[in-house]
């Protein structure tokens, strides 16, 4: 099988699980294989630099900051083999169609994103992306309370667990987040309420 003939790989998990690090590792390997790689990140994510994807362990790769995912289709050329997308959960959910169009154009698309928001609810376009992907890896962080494997992102406001009704997106306040296991994750309402109300 030629993995450069149209496929979608999703890297998901909580904050601090190494998603960006894994994304960069795969993109670097493609570059070593002399594939043409183009990388995008949501420009809402300004935690380090607008021109790079930066992992928490400091590795970087050059990336185009965009907020409209249809820009990807405009910037892509036939010479591009591999498309990387970081923080994919921040894009409008219609990015699913854009990504499938890239796959139809025989691109290898590798996208990394949070699968759950701070309330423990599936994040934006992640559920359909996980479903249509050729491969999915769910990375685990370490629970900052007990040390077990963690796949929840705990938001803390003034040291206290955030409320269910808080806004979903709050960028650049990393000290307000911790990786937590299911046992140590705290939220004031059960996510089930929103599963019933949402229409993803
Ligand atoms: Zn724990």
Q: Say if 57 falls within a structural domain.
A: yes
Q: Say if 199 falls within a structural domain.
A: no
Q: Say if 125 falls within a structural domain.
A: yes
Q: Say if 170 falls within a structural domain.
A: no
Give whole-number Cα distances, 144 to 102, 112, 153, in Å.
38, 22, 10
pLDDT at 51 over 90: no
Between the CA of 77 and the centroid of ligand 1 the distance, in Å, is: 45
Q: Say if 171 falls within a structural domain.
A: no
Between the CA of 49 and the centroid of ligand 1 the distance, in Å, is: 32
Confidence class for position 92, pLDDT limits 50, 70, 90 = very high
Look up the domain containing 57 and give its range: 7-140
30: domain CATH number is: 3.40.50.300
- Total of domains in the chain: 1
Q: What is the mean pLDDT of the chain?
A: 87
Whats the size of the chain, residue-wise? 200
Q: Say if 146 falls within a structural domain.
A: no
Of 85-89, 96-100, 161-165, least confident by mean pLDDT is 161-165
Q: Say if 54 falls within a structural domain.
A: yes
pLDDT (mean) for 90-94: 94
Between the CA of 23 and the centroid of ligand 1 the distance, in Å, is: 26
Q: Say if 13 falls within a structural domain.
A: yes
């Amino acid at each position: 099988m030629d993995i450069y003939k149209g496929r979608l790989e999703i890297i998901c998990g909580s904050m601090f699980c190494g998603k960006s690090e894994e994304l960069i590792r795969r993109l670097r390997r493609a570059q070593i294989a002399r594939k043409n790689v183009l990388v995008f990140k949501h420009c809402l994510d300004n935690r380090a630099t607008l021109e790079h994807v930066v992992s928490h362990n400091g590795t970087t790769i050059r990336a185009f900051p965009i907020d409209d995912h249809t820009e990807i289709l405009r910037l892509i050329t036939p010479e591009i083999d591999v498309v990387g997308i970081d923080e994919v959960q921040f894009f409008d959910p219609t990015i699913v169609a854009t990504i499938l169009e890239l796959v139809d154009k025989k691109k290898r698309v590798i996208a990394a994103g949070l699968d759950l928001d701070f309330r423990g609810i599936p994040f934006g376009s992640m559920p359909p992306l996980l479903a249509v992907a050729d491969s999915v890896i769910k990375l685990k962080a370490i629970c900052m309370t007990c040390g077990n494997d963690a796949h929840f992102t705990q938001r803390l406001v003034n040291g206290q667990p955030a409320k269910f009704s808080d806004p979903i997106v709050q960028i650049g306040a990393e000290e307000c987040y911790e990786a937590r296991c299911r046992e140590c994750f705290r939220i004031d309402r059960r996510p089930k309420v929103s599963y019933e109300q949402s229409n993803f």
